[in-house]
Amino acid sequence: MLRKRIVVLSILIFVLALITFAGIFIWSRISFSMNKLRNEAKKFPEYELAFSSSSHYLERAIVKELRTMVNDYHVEVAQNLGVAGLKDEKDVMKAVEEKKLVPLKDTNFWKLRELTDSMPYVTPDTLELLFLAGKRFHENLRNNNLPLYRFTISSVLRTEQMQQQLTRKNRNATRNISSHQFGTTVDIIFREFEYTAEDNFTFNILTKYKDKPEFKKDDFDQLGQKYASSLRTILGKTLVELQREDKCYVIYEFRQPVFHITVATKF
């Protein structure tokens, strides 16, 4: 009987120790993330100065590169790397079950606009491309002594039905096959950026406590809106880098404020 009590007591002590350790670990991580956010906020005047001296325009040569890979190239690679035959939502859900498509959710690298003419699903390779683009974008922001922002995705996967409906109400939508129909393509709207953090945990803290004046999230968001042209320039250069590495094709749209991006390789 005494031995049983000792065993039970030992187990209880072990469990309590684990709970205590987990609590201390979580508290420490939250404190560390909050300190990082406070330190970033202290640099706000420096970031404001860096933005004021940053480039607001893409060089003509870069713009040319961003318009070299026209729609036909996007459709061709989408047909090779994407999922064909997505006529309606039922086909999309089947492709998700078969793991040919995966959900696209908000991260610290990007946010999704409310999707009215597309669905938040992409191929696994497209998801990997977006993570790579997000990480590279953040690296390039840091290289320019700027704070971190996440970009906004405005269009993702369209079924054949969605594409047909879109062509009836949007004259900019192609009447032919779109690369959006294969889960390989997204549109990034380059006028909308949101202040973010270098990892999802810290970003979740920032989102939860966004009203804390010490984090200056509203100030950073307004700064990003004011200098959206600078962020667009850095994002455009980031995408050109990836296109040169044969990771993706990009179109800098004429009629819409978006970068049209299609994955161009297996990851």
- What is the model's pLDDT at position 255? 85
How far is residue 119 from each of residues 100, 102, 105, 157, measured CA to CA in Å? 15, 11, 11, 5
Cα distance between residue 245 and residue 87, in whole Å:
32
CB 248 within 8 A of CB 137: no
Q: What is the pTM of this model?
A: 0.88
- What is the model's pLDDT at position 28? 67
Average pLDDT, the chain: 90
Mean pLDDT along residues 22-26: 61
- What is the model's pLDDT at position 202? 95
DSSP, residue by residue, 133-184: HHHHHHHHHHHTT---EEEEEEE-B--HHHHHHHHHH-TTS-SS--GGGGT-
CB 53 within 8 A of CB 218: no
CB 194 within 8 A of CB 137: no
CB 110 within 8 A of CB 150: yes
Cα distance between residue 45 and residue 39, in whole Å:
12
Cα distance between residue 6 and residue 23, in whole Å:
25
**pLDDT tens digit sequence for 141-186:** 999 999 999 999 999 999 998 888 776 665 555 557 899 999 999 9
How far is residue 101 from each of residues 82, 96, 121, 239, measured CA to CA in Å? 9, 5, 6, 23
Q: Would you say the C-alpha torsion 245, 127, 238, 233 has a positive or negative sign? A: positive
